Amino acid sequence: MKTTIQANRSILKSEQNNNVGDNNFTVKLAELSSGIYFLKINNPNGQIITKLIKQ
């Protein structure tokens, strides 16, 4: 399953995972400036959009 995470149109992480049931991974946000981001997470099961506030 391929999962892609975007923040404000920039791809933060794109990962291919063939382990069934393993949907955990880490995204390092240290390089992002403080602010409000909208994360868009795409995978074969659908899409999730959520707000992230980095201080």
Q: What per-residue confidence (pLDDT) applies to 7?
A: 76
Angle (CA) 4 10 16, round 5°: 20
The tokens for 43 are 């995978």
Q: Which residues of 7-18 are buried (b: 16+ CB within 10 A; e: fewer)?
A: beeeebeeeeee
For 6-43, what is each residue's pLDDT tens digit? Answer: 777 777 777 776 666 666 777 777 877 888 888 787 77
CB distance 5 to 47 below 8 Å:
no
